[in-house]
Structure 1
Amino acid sequence: MPRHPVRRVSTVVLPLLLAVTVGGPALAAPASPVPAVPAVAVTASPSVEDRDLLKWYRVQPSFDGEPEFLHAIAERLLGDGNRYTEIFELNKGRVQADGKALEKPEVLAPGWVLFLPADATGDGVETGQLWYRVQPSFDGEPEFLHAIAERLLGDGERYTEIFELNKGRTQPDGAALETPERVAPGWILTLPADARGEGIGAGPLPEGAAAAPSAPATTAAAQAPAAGRTGGFPVLLAVLIVLAVLLVAGAVAGFLVVRRRAAPAGAAPGRAVHAGGPAPAGDGRRTGVGRRAGVGRGAGVGRRAAKDRPELAPPARTFDTAASWTIDRALSVLVAAAGAAGRPVPPVYGVSLDEQSMSLRLASPDTDTVEPWEPAENGRVWRARLRDLQALPAVTVGSPTPRLVTLGTAGGTRELIDLGQATGVISITGDAAASRALIGAWAEELTGSPWSGTVRVVAGDVRPHLDGGERLVSLGSVRDAVTAAEGDRSADAFALRGNPSGEGPGVLILGSAPGAKDLERVQALLTGPHATWVVVVLGQTRYDRWRFTVAADGRLDAGALGLTVYTRGR
C-alpha cells in the first residue's frame, strides 16, 4: 500500500524539527562582540547635478560681536546690503527647524537656514540640497511622489525628477527607492532647487539618509556589526520557518492527492463556474459579442469566430450596487449645487469612497467649493460627509464622469478614476490574466453603472466576459476596432442626450498594442477637434498618458496618479 504523502513528509520533517530544537542553544550562541564604529558624517550625493544644489547660510548667534540681520548678511555675502530683499523673498514664510518662519526682514533667529542667491560667497556659505522628510500622511492621505511633486514643485508630473534624484539611495530604514509608487514615512527625498513649501529642509541630508549609490560604499569595518548579527537566534528562527513551511506544503500536497483520487472520473480538476460567466451553449443568451446600428462602416470587416479571440477572465469583481448608487447620487448633488451657485462643475478625475465620506480629486485646483463640499490639499480635493450629501437635493441629468471605473480598494476605501480625463493612451501592464480581468470589470461598469448610460464600448482582440447589449461591440482584431471607432464619426453615430455634437463618449479597449500605422489612427481619435474616445491598451505605446501595473495577486500601481490599490478588495 503506498505511503500517504503527509505521513511521508512527516517522517522526514519531524525528526529534523526535533534535532533543531535540541541543538537550538548551540545555534543561538551569540557571535563574538564587534566594536562599535563611529557614524560617518553624511554628505550630499555626488550624482546630483549642480542645478539641484542650493547655496545656504545658517544664522549665527552673533557675528563680530553683533546680532545677525539680513542687511548685514547681504552686505557680507552678496557685497551689497540692499540685496537683503532677495534673501527675504527666497525665505519668506518657510518653516524653520524651530517651527517658526521668516515673516519680517528684521526678525531672525540663530540656527535658521537661509537660502541664498547663486552668487553668494564668503565665510559660512554652504552648498547643499533641498530635502523633504516623507510624513506618515498629509491631509489624511498617505504620501506619494506625485502628491509631493504637486505640493512642492507645483506640478505632479514632475514626480519623475524627484524619483531620479533619489533612486537607489539607501534610506534611514535600510530600504531604497526603486519604483516611483513606493515611498515610506521617514524617508529623506532630495528635491530640485525650485522646490518651495512646508517641510522643506536645506543643506546636509539628515543623519541616517545615506548618499546615492555612486557615493563611496560603507567601509568593511562599518559592515562588520551587520555581519555579526547574522548568527545566533535569527538562524534558528529561519531554519524553523523553512521546516514548518515544508511540513505544511507536504500536508497540502497530500490533501490534494486524496481529493483528486476521490473526484468523479469525468470531473475537470480545479475548474469552477463563475457566477457571472457565459451562459451554456444553447440557452438562447448572447455571449458578449454585442452589436448596434451605426457603429461604423468597418464593424463587420475581418471578424474572427468568437473562439479564436482571446477570452477575458471573469471580471475581478462586479461593481458594488450600493456603492454605485451612493456615488451616482453624490455626483448628482454636485451638479445640482454647482447649478444653484451659477458655476460650472469642476473637472473630476478621481473619486474616493469610504464608510463616512466621499472625496473628489480635481483635474485642476479649485477652492471655490459648493455645499456640502470642503476643499483640501489646496483645492485639489473636495470632501464631504455622506450624511450631508444624502440630505441635499439631486438632479436627474447626465453624469459629469460617465467613464468612471473602479481601480480597487485600499484600507476600506474604494478608489475610482474617470477614464475620460486621460489625455493619451491608458496602458495596462503586468500579469496577463489579472489585466484582462480588470478591463473585463471596467467594461461591466462602463455598460452597467448608473452614471454610464451614454457610454459605448468597442473592444478589439479581446471579448469582454459579459453581455453589454447594444452599447458593447467586440471585434476580432485591433484594426477592426479602430475602424469601428473611426466610423462613429458618421452622422448616424450613437448620440449623447443633450450633446449637440451628436457623439457620446466612447471607450476603445485593445487587447494588444497597435502597430505603427494603427497607433497613429488611435492618436488621431484622441486628439481630433471633436475627440470623444478614450483608448485602453493591454501593453505599452509611446503615447501612454496613464500606465497601470497589475500584479497576479490583484495589486494595482496607478503610476503617476499616486495610488496603490487591490482589484480584489482589501
Structure 2
Amino acid sequence: MSNGSSAPPPQRPGIGNTYRGARTALRALAVLLVGCLAALGVAASATAADGDDLIKVFVVQDPAQTGGQLATLASVAASTLGDASRAGEILDLNRGLAQPDGGALNGADDQLRPGWILRLPPDASGPDVQQARDTGNQGTASSAPDGAGAPGGGSGTTAAGSTMFTIPLAAAIAVLGAIVLALVTAGIVGRRKVRGVYGAVMRAVHGMGAPVKRRRRLMLRRAMGRRFATDADSVRRAYGTVAEFAAGRPRPETPVYALRVDNAGATVWLSASDALEAPWRSIDGTRWRHATAGAGWLDGPVDGGTASWAATSATCLVRVGTDTEGEAVFVDLSRLDGVLSVTGDHGVARDVVQNVLAEIARIRPDTPVTVLRGADGAPPPALPAGLTQLGRADLPAATPSTAVHGTVRAAASRRPVQGLVVVAGTPTGQEAAELAALCGPGGAGWTGLVYGEVSGAHWRWYTDADGDVDIPALDVKLTVPA
C-alpha cells in the first residue's frame, strides 16, 4: 500500500563522484585552454605590432613594361596622389636615401631608375601604390614592396630594433593537445557541451584564417588591375563586337548594355524586348551568346583601332571587373544616362570608381573630370594622369531652357560621356545641386560617378568587403580591381 509519496530511486555508488570529478577536470582544462589562447593572443598582438611599420611606396617600372614611358616625380605624384604638383613631397621623403642599385634621388631633375622604391605620403592611393616594411634606417631605402621580398610573401626586411615573438613547437603542440583533451572530456560530460565547444573552436579557427583570406584576395584584385592596364586586345575585341549592333540600313541600333569577350566567343546583355538571330543563342531573358563572335575582330593596330572607336562612337566601354570564370565584363557608361551610385563597403566602392576612371583615361584621354567632396568625408580618388581635372569655375553651365529637379529622368537614354563628376561619399545639399546641374535633366550632359548614397540614380551598384560588386540591372556579380 502506497502512502502517496515515493522515495527517490537508489543511486549507484560512485556516479555522483564521477560526474563531479569530470566537471572539475573540465574546469581545469578550460582554465588551461584559456591560458594557452591568451598566450596565442599575445603572440598575435606582437605580430600585429610588426605591421605598424608598413609604409606606402611606388616601384619604378622598366620602360618596357610601361610602353616606353619613363616615370618622373610628377607622373608618380599624379598617379598616386592625384596632383602632379605634389612631386616635391615625394622628393623630400626620398632625398638621399640609398636605392637598391646604389644610387640616390637628390634633386627634382634626377632621372628615376627602374627598380627604385620611392616612399609616398600616407594619403597615396591607386593601383600603383604598394606597401613595404620600413627598415628604420635613416640612410637607406631598403624597404621592399609587400610580397616582393623574401619567399612566402613577406617584405624581406624587419624594422630596426623590433622584437620578434615566436611560439616554440612544444608550446604549439601543448595547445593542440589541450584542445583535444578538452573536447574528449566534454564528450564524457555531455554531447551538448561537445557541440558548443566544437562550434567555438571552429569559429576561432575561421576567425584566425579571415585575415589571410582577405590578404590573398587583395593580392588577386591588385593583379587584376595590372592585367587591365596592359590588356588592350580585349578592349579592341569588345569594341569590334559592339560594332555588329550599330545602326545600319535598314536596321536600327540594338542597345548593348554590357558584354564579355573571351577566347571562345562573346556574350552581350540586351534589353528584355530585344532578340537576336542565329548564330546568336539566348542564355536567358537578357543575355545572348555567340560561340565565335569577338575573336579576331578589328585586327588593325591596337592603339589605332581602339582609339578611333572611342573617339568616333558614343560607346564608352569600361571593364568593371571579372566574373566567376575570371573573364572581364565591360559596361557601356553611355547607357548610365546620368548618375551611377556605388554603395556598400566604402573602400571597395571607391575602388570601383577608381578603376572606371583608369579605364576612361586609357580609352578617352583628356576627358574632363571634377571631384566633389561628400558629406561623410570619404577620401577622394587619385585621378589618373590621362584625365583633365577642372575646378568649379571651369565647369560648363546647365541648359537654361529646362528646369533641374534632381537627377531622375523619365526613361533612360543614351548619351556620350562628355565629362565626369566624381562625388567622394554621399553628396551634401550643395554638391547634390551641382551634380544635378551637370548630370540631371537639362544639365550639361555629364556622367556622375558617386561612391555613396544618392537619390535618382538610374544605375545602382552594391559592393561588399570581399571586393565584389553586385550589378542588379545586369544580374551579375563581379570581382573588382584594387
Q: TM-score, with normalisation over the residues of structure 2?
A: 0.48
Q: TM-score, with normalisation over the residues of structure 1?
A: 0.41
Structure that is richer in helix per residue: 2
